[in-house]
Structure 1
Amino acid sequence: MSDHEGSLAEPAFPGDDGLTDPALAPVLGDTSATLARLGEARVFVPIVAVLGERASDGSDKNADMAAVLMAGADGRQALLAFTSVATLEAWNPQARPVPVYGQAAAQSAVAEGASALILDLGQPHWSVVETDDLRHLAAGDTLAHTPTGTAWVRATE
């Protein structure tokens, strides 16, 4: 269970202005620093309407809302997430922004069988979190800087 779980009656981000999370804004473009802060930062996962079956007269029979998974040329899938409502709307103005912590976005990607999370697709600072980094982010691990590079650290209870 994540530290970020709440109830539907209590919004996780009251008064959210839709701007890039202040903890994340200064590090965008720096892959390591972004990865170190992403789990605790608020991001937006786009939800889009997906048409279901059509009635015989051609009208929509039903529609569902779904998070967006993109498939790469190699067949691997990635969940999209954006740092602000503006970056999400630049990608698709019809998508509904759903605010979540970066860790929850990574957990959703893993649960959907995706091997990556693409952050801010179409923006100059876009980045990809994939494979082991995605699993560590989903698990709530912390990326630490060491004298020899970076390493994922798991909190113990």
Structure 2
Amino acid sequence: MSGVGAAMPRPPRGRSPHPSVVLATGALLLAVLVATVMSRPRPGDGLEAGHGRPASVSIDLRFEDLPDGGVAVRRADDGAAVAVLAPGTEGFVRATLRGLARDRKRGDFGPEQPFRLSAWTDGGLSLEDRATGRTLDLRAFGSTQVEAFSRLLPASGEDKR
């Protein structure tokens, strides 16, 4: 019988699935869970941006909040100004730095350690928090965001570690 009012066959009541089906399903779920946990990158496991490849240029930076709401970007080695982010501009850079600052606060780290911005020979760009060890591969956020951070790099070949 078919049609709108056709009744669908129902499984018999009170029957549980065969034990082998339950075991196979449980084993599959456990395997997926283990694979997920084991595949997550962790600091120090060699999966951070830039690990094992040479940087074409890098600079250690400090970021300083200004009274007018701007952010001063300075070289960590001598304090020379690299840029000033005017209030209300460079939203991605500001949001990224806020997130890293939260990590520092949670870990009870101060501003002593600089951030390292590196351009890699394979075209990558990363920002490393030297205090927490966290490294962000900035390419993951798109070309506009890469460009926002690229403006803070020194001229090619001038390494400012």
Is TM more than 0.5 here? Answer: no
Which range, TM-score by smaller chain? under 0.3
TM-score, L = length of structure 2: 0.24
Q: Which has the larger radius of gyration?
A: 2
More strand by share: 1
